[in-house]
Amino acid sequence: MTHYHPSVEMLTDYAAGSLPLTHALCVSTHIEHCHECQQQLRKLEILGSHLFDDVPTEPRRLDDLKQNLLSKLRKSDRVSDNSHPKESTESKLDAFLEDYSVPKSLRQFVKKSYDQLSWTRLSPSFKIATLYNEEGGAQVALTRVKAGAHMPSHTHTGDEITLVLEGAFSDEAGIYRKGDFIQRGANHKHKPIVTKDAECICLTVLDAPIEFTGWFTRLLNPLIRRHHPFTRAEG
Amino acid sequence: MEPALQQQADEQRVLDIIAIAQHRDQEALVRLFDYYVPKIRAFCLAKQPGANLMADDIAQEVMIRVWNKAHTYQKESASLNTWIFTVARNARIDYLRKNSRHQSDIDPENLWQDVVDENADPFKDMQHHRDQKRIKEGLDKLPQEQKQVLSKVYLEGKTHQEASEELSLPLGTIKSRIRLALHKLTIYIKR
Ligand SMILES: [Zn+2]
């Protein structure tokens, strides 16, 4: 049972299509398994369709556009005579072979399994794999922490979204389980601990690099920075 | 349009999409084109005023998707308007991604699905009609200032922050107007 959801503002922007892609990746991954947000999204899309239906249109001759479209369709129908493209069975098979099922929205980055990603070990119990660094923007990564381990204490310099993919962790404010969506503002300092029963894999989006705050973990900051676009060497 | 005529026209368009799915009916597509393309273009121009070429490209792309994906439309899980809206929204996201200066690698195709409901059932159908009606009636009664903010977000594709700058209103006011509106439309229930 999911207890932490994206805010209604974020869901609205998602339904409207204006949410940045990095954030949409997290929302979409959450929604895949959250019935409550699916319902809300459905209604937000109905709202969008009414606004769309009422949009004032301007008179304009569209004959050229129409003819162009129809000739395009005739050509494409001639090329591919099967009008109902077959579903690829490959992705289903991949999902079946692994221990964890990778959410559909992440398959673009996680082709087969989490194990095959290139993980960087930052401590004996903490690993990170960068999925995507947006140019001049956010970082999307997976973190993997062993059962019962402390995640390094850190402060964000920007917003952070965390989505629990597998396992669970807790901090001062509560316990977060599979599917939970947690958004934290800048300068939020916290000390998450993974629950004892299983390892924890999370999807995270950072608007700016995190800074580790302990004396030992301070050594990690250069490593993290190397994995973040803001500090990555040019070229 | 009178409600009865409106309903008749809506039903005809559903027949049209079925005709496209079942026997590639081009005349049906032309009817949908005449109804939806002006709306799709207006939806795109709301986001980027004056960008007529972009509006034409996206409108064409939407109609191609309608042609190729007509068989995935299920009237039990969404009205045709809602389905077309999601297709248009997705095409607009895709176009903007491909044509932006900072091209993102994240493929929106995986993130925004066109509404497809795998286990549609008659109860859902009823529920859907109820929501549809309630939201429509609620929208007609909303104060102009709330409707305006919703249009900024949905049609112009503005973030809450951008809406706040354009309307010269504090971000908090934008948020509360949207929450208030969603609450009246029974979309948002405080958790
Ligand atoms: Zn949810």
> DSSP labels for A198-224?
S-EEEEEEESS-EEE-STTGGGGHHHH
CB-CB contact of A183 with A160 (8 Å): yes
In chain A, domain spans? 8-81+90-98, 112-234
Q: Decide if A47 and B139 are in contact by the 8 Å CB cutoff.
A: yes
Residues A210 and A154: their CA atoms lie apart, in Å, by 7
How many residue pairs from chains A and B have C-beta atoms closer than 8 A?
171
Q: Decide if A50 and B105 are in contact by the 8 Å CB cutoff.
A: no
Q: Which fold has domain B122-191?
A: Arc Repressor Mutant, subunit A (1.10.10)
Query: pLDDT tens-digit profile of A147-203?
Result: 999 877 666 667 789 999 999 999 888 899 999 999 987 666 677 899 998 999 999
Name the closest residue on chain B to residue A15, using Cα atoms: B154
pLDDT at residue B101 above 90? no
Name the closest residue on chain B to residue A27, using Cα atoms: B111
ipTM of the complex: 0.93
Q: Let me know the angle formed at the C-alpha of A166 by A163 and A167, rounded to the nearest 5 degrees.
A: 105
Question: Which residues have C-beta within 8 Å of that of residue B109, sequence separation ≥ 6?
Answer: B90, B94
CA distance B16 to chain A (A): 16
- Global pTM? 0.86
| Mutation site, A5, A12, A87, interface B, largest B CB count within 10 A | A12
Q: Which of B71, B102, B151 has the CB atom closest to A84's CB atom?
A: B71
pLDDT at residue A234 above 50? no
Q: Strands (DSSP E) along A15-136, which ranges?
A: 120-123, 126-133
- The strand pairing partners of A186, in sequence order, are none
Q: Decide if B179 and A53 are in contact by the 8 Å CB cutoff.
A: no
Name the closest residue on chain A to residue B137, using Cα atoms: A50
CB atoms within 5 A of ion ligand 1 belong to A 5, 34, 36-37
- Strand-strand pairing, A120-123 and A126-133: antiparallel
CATH number of B1-120: 1.10.1740.10
Q: Decide if B115 and A107 are in contact by the 8 Å CB cutoff.
A: no
Query: pLDDT tens-digit profile of B115-150?
Result: 555 555 666 677 778 888 899 999 999 999 999 999
Chain B CB contacts of A77 below 8 Å: 24
**B60 part of contact set with chain A, CB < 8 Å:** yes
Q: Which fold has domain A112-234?
A: Jelly Rolls (2.60.120)
Query: pLDDT tens-digit profile of B50-84?
Result: 999 999 999 999 999 999 999 999 888 889 999 99
**B55 part of contact set with chain A, CB < 8 Å:** no
Residues A73 and A69: their CA atoms lie apart, in Å, by 6
In chain B, domain spans? 1-120, 122-191
Q: Which of B89, B175, B182 has the CB atom closest to A17's CB atom?
A: B89
Chain A CB contacts of B38 below 8 Å: 57-58, 60, 62
**B18 part of contact set with chain A, CB < 8 Å:** no
- The kind and range of the H/E element at A141 are strand A139-145
Q: What is the mean pLDDT of chain A?
A: 80
pLDDT at residue A88 above 50? no
Query: pLDDT tens-digit profile of A54-67?
Result: 888 888 889 999 99
Q: Decide if A8 and B182 are in contact by the 8 Å CB cutoff.
A: yes
CA distance B42 to chain A (A): 6
The residue type at B83: W
Q: Decide if B159 and A18 are in contact by the 8 Å CB cutoff.
A: yes
